[in-house]
Structure formats: structure tokens, C-alpha cells
Amino acid sequence: MKRFLIVTILAVFAVACTSVKDFELQPGAMQPMRGTYSDFMLSGEARLDDGADASVWFHTDGDCGKGYQVLFHNGPIDGTRKTGSLASVRNLYRSLANDGEWFPFEIAVRGNNISVKVKGTDVVCYTEPEAPYRNELHKDMLLGSGKVIFSGGSGKVAFRKVAIEKLPAGQHNPADSLPPVDEQTDDIIRLQQEDFPVIDYHVHLKGDLTQEMAHAMSMNYGINYGIGPNAYGPKKEGEGGSGLVLTSDEEMEAYWQSVKNWPFMRPLQGDGRKWSRSFSPELLDKFDYIFTDGMYVYDHGRLVRLWYPDEVRLEMPVQAYMDLIVDETVKIFENDPADFSANAFYLPEVFAGDFERLWTDERVDRVLKVLKDNNVALEISARYLIPSKRIIQKAKAMGLKFTFGTNNKDSNFGRLEYCTEMVRECGITADDMWFPSMSTRSERMKARDAAEKQQ
């Protein structure tokens, strides 16, 4: 009986699974797998020369004129689409693999679900809805059945241990845990189809939001997440922001070790007014980016957190308080080398209702100028719905770069609705967006520290 089972299993395996000889793809070369496939599991290992790229098409025809494409392309977070991307549907902007190393990958179709793994980690879990949204350029990017073709892009890409297995219908991807997005009403798929980078740079594991939930949401929504803690430095009880707050190099190093391989971007939020002098510069440099905000102001020597209503004491006229906020914001972005200004133009609750009147052109211009002069990008905040359209248009005219960010307090947050609205209303293009490869914070910090030593 046992022998019969083994023979049967081997026979099934021989029919269902095809492996191919190791191969190298040159630019423009095509390497089709034998046969046609609907549900399948493709696995193998890839190695890319510096800057090289290639892709795998599936459910396609001989000219790769239909079906889906998975990209192989490593390198810095510079706005180009990275390894594992399901092209123009679930574009990814950080690669888990590096050029020059062999890394395993897996691409599977199970029913309407497409999944991609890189180095054993799920990076795409996309369920094609009943009514998918596709633009004219990608109108045939749909499931069906068809060929699997490896396609060379630029440079040299090697593949080994490549095997493909037909899967029986009705299999389920265990990573597929959320209902598919309704693409007829979804803004994110529209940006994805245009290869506009969809990145929420400002997510925190706060409240009930766990790493696993964030991972599932990111894949389901098609939004790349940057998830970070606060970096404060030595602090007393009751100081600083909420959530995870790092206070020493030891804590920061331990945190880095715990997140360096996770499938998100790995930022820090500079918290308070001492963070940039409280950690070793080498440690700060490990993170993908660092952002901070203008929400800590010194009011006559007292550090006020503007988002705590009872800390905001209006012992001066509102106009004077506004000038204080502007002065402090200028100081922050002149001194603390952050990559972008989060929660920008935030006003304390007590006068947030007067936003447009209090943020006079003169005040707005002072803040935008300090950002521009210090190469700091401007966050469009999905949670606070700021800056307003007028300010975003001014910033765009000045040539500032933008990021999208939510600053969530738990798992109950949206899909960058205000950001996508501002993209449409202000005509923001991918060229207006900021990426970590543009960061100059490290040089700015070195220059600042050298200047201070000389004094």
C-alpha cells in the first residue's frame, strides 16, 4: 500500500510540475515556459546584476500583449518599481532583495487571487474583483489563462531552480484574508494604473494595529506603507508622543534589528525638540527616512504639544500665538535635519476652525521657504486634511516635493482619500513626489554638527 502511494504521488508530480534548466536573460530576450496555465505556482531564484531588471508575464500571449507582469528590479527607494511588483496594479517601491544576491521568489494564481513572495515574504496579495478597473493602456491586464514568459529588461538577470506546477481549481491563498476592493469606486487603483507611486509614509503601529494587520491592509489596498516609531531621546514620564518612543541608541539599535527585514519602509519620526542630537548619526542613517513636525513649540520656555488642548494656553493674542508657531516651525526645520514635514500647518484645536484666515500668505511663505531652503518635503496629511489646497498649490509652484501620510492612531484609517483628492485638484504628478533616494538629511546633519564644533 505504502509503495503504491509513493508511486502515485511521483506520477502526479511528474505530470503537474515542470522545472527548467537554469538560464540567464539578456535585455529583450524572452523565455517562455512550456504549456499554458490558469491556476499555477511558479517558483525559483533570481539574481540581478547592478541596476538590471526583468519580468515574468503570466496569463499572456506570445507577445506579452495581455495578462499580468511581475517585476524584478532592486536598488534604492527612488520611485521606480521594485521586485515583486504586480505591474500597474500593485506597484511596490522597496525591494526586499539586493543586486548581486540569489533570492527566492514565488508567483501564484489561485482562482481570482494573485500572490507574489520575495525571500519567503508575501509582497503581493491581490484579488481581481468582479469588475476590475483598467485604464486604456492596461485594458487586457486581466486573469484568464495563457503562457508564462520570462522577459529580459535591461542588464543581466539569472534564474535558477525555476519550476512551475499547475494547481487544481479551488485552492485558497492563506494570505488572502480581506474582501477585494471595489475598483469601480477606488482611487488607489487609478493611481496604480498610471504608475503614480502610492506610498503612505506615515503609519504607526498604534492602538489595535499590529504588524500582521498592516501587512494585510497594505497588500489589499495597494498602498505601500512606511511604519515607524517615535525617536525622542532621554525623556521624563509624560513627555513625548504616544506609541513606541525610542529614548536611547540601545533601544534604537534593537528596534532596527527587529524591523530591518520587514516588508514596509523603515522610517523614524523625530519626536520632541532634541531627537536629532540624542542618537548617533550612524544609527539614524540606517533608517529609510526621518520625518518630524512643527507640533512642539516653546512658549516662554515651556514646551507645548499643540495637539494637547490643555497644554495650549492662550496667554497672548491669537495673532501672536500664530507668529510663535511660525517662528518655532522655522527653527525646527533649520536645525533638525528631517526629510519631510509631517502634519504640516497643523493648528491647535482651539483655532483650527480659522485655518485659512490665520495662515496668511506671509506666514505660509515663511514656512514653505524654510522647507524649500533645507530640502524638506511636505506631507499631505490624510488624517488632518492639511495643508489646504491653496497651500499645496503654492508649494507646488515653489517646486517643493510631496509625501502622503496618515499618522493613524489605530487600525481604523483610510486609504489616502484626501491625498488622492489633492493629486487631482492640484495636478500633482509623480515628478512632484519625494522619495528617500532624494534625502540630504545625513549631509545636513554632518554640516550642522561640524559648524557647531567650530563655534
Q: Is 247 in the site for Zn ion (CB under 5 A)?
A: no
Q: Are 202 and 405 within 8 A, CB to CB?
A: yes
| C-alpha to C-alpha distances, 319 to 61, 358, 428, nearest whole angstrom | 66, 7, 32
Tell me which stretch binds Zn ion (CB under 5 A): 44-52, 261-269, 273-281, 420-428: 261-269
Q: Return the percent helix, strand and coil in the chain, to nearest 5.
A: 30, 25, 45
| Residues in 312-331 that interact with Zn ion by CB under 5 A | none
Tell me which stretch binds Zn ion (CB under 5 A): 128-136, 262-270, 296-304, 364-372: 262-270
Taking the complex as a whole, the smallest distance from the CB of residue 203 to Zn ion amounts, in Å, to: 8
Distance (Å, whole) CA 138 – CA 183 = 14
375 vs 407 by CB, closer to Zn ion = 407
Tell me which stretch binds Zn ion (CB under 5 A): 104-112, 125-133, 263-271, 296-304: 263-271
**All three cell numbers of 402:** 510631496
Tell me which stretch binds Zn ion (CB under 5 A): 12-20, 295-303, 321-329, 406-414: 406-414
115 vs 269 by CB, closer to Zn ion = 269
85 vs 230 by CB, closer to Zn ion = 230
Taking the complex as a whole, the smallest distance from the CB of residue 230 to Zn ion amounts, in Å, to: 7
Taking the complex as a whole, the smallest distance from the CB of residue 166 to Zn ion amounts, in Å, to: 47
| Residues in 222-241 that interact with Zn ion by CB under 5 A | none
Distance (Å, whole) CA 285 – CA 442 = 7
Q: How many residues bind Zn ion (CB under 5 A)?
A: 2
Distance (Å, whole) CA 235 – CA 248 = 10
| Residues in 186-215 that interact with Zn ion by CB under 5 A | none
247 vs 407 by CB, closer to Zn ion = 407
Strands 113-118, 103-110: pairing kind: antiparallel
Residue with nearest beta carbon to Zn ion: 407
- Choosing from 192, 375, 406, 407, the residue that interacts with Zn ion (CB under 5 A) is 407
| Residues in 268-287 that interact with Zn ion by CB under 5 A | 269
Taking the complex as a whole, the smallest distance from the CB of residue 349 to Zn ion amounts, in Å, to: 17
3 state SS of 59: strand
211 vs 393 by CB, closer to Zn ion = 211
Distance (Å, whole) CA 154 – CA 232 = 43
The interaxial angle of helices 389-397 and 361-373, nearest 10 deg, is: 40
Alpha-helix runs per DSSP H in 336-375: 349-352, 355-358, 361-373
269 vs 420 by CB, closer to Zn ion = 269
- Other C-beta atoms within 10 Å of 220: how many? 20
Taking the complex as a whole, the smallest distance from the CB of residue 87 to Zn ion amounts, in Å, to: 31
Taking the complex as a whole, the smallest distance from the CB of residue 368 to Zn ion amounts, in Å, to: 21
Q: Are 29 and 152 within 8 A, CB to CB?
A: yes
The interaxial angle of helices 318-335 and 361-373, nearest 10 deg, is: 10
Tell me which stretch binds Zn ion (CB under 5 A): 17-25, 265-273, 384-392, 442-450: 265-273
Taking the complex as a whole, the smallest distance from the CB of residue 259 to Zn ion amounts, in Å, to: 16
Q: What secondary structure, in 3-state letters, does 64-132 show?
A: CCCCEEEEEECCCCCCCCCCCCECCCECCCCCCCCCCCCEEEEEEEECCEEEEEECCEEEEEEECCCCC
396 vs 415 by CB, closer to Zn ion = 415
Q: Any bridge partners for residue 37, and if so which? A: 146
From residue 27 to residue 66, the character string flagging contacts with Zn ion as x (rule: CB under 5 A) and all else as - is ----------------------------------------
Q: Which of 143, 117, 124, 129 has the alpha carbon at shortest distance from 58?
A: 143
Q: Are 290 and 270 within 8 A, CB to CB?
A: yes
Taking the complex as a whole, the smallest distance from the CB of residue 48 to Zn ion amounts, in Å, to: 34
56 vs 297 by CB, closer to Zn ion = 297
Tell me which stretch binds Zn ion (CB under 5 A): 63-71, 278-286, 404-412, 422-430: 404-412
Taking the complex as a whole, the smallest distance from the CB of residue 295 to Zn ion amounts, in Å, to: 9
Tell me which stretch binds Zn ion (CB under 5 A): 13-21, 302-310, 313-321, 399-407: 399-407
**All three cell numbers of 32:** 517562455
Q: Are 53 and 154 within 8 A, CB to CB?
A: yes
Burial class, 408, CB count within 10 angstroms (exposed 0-12 / middle 13-18 / buried 19+): buried
Residue ranges in contact with Zn ion by CB under 5 A? 269, 407
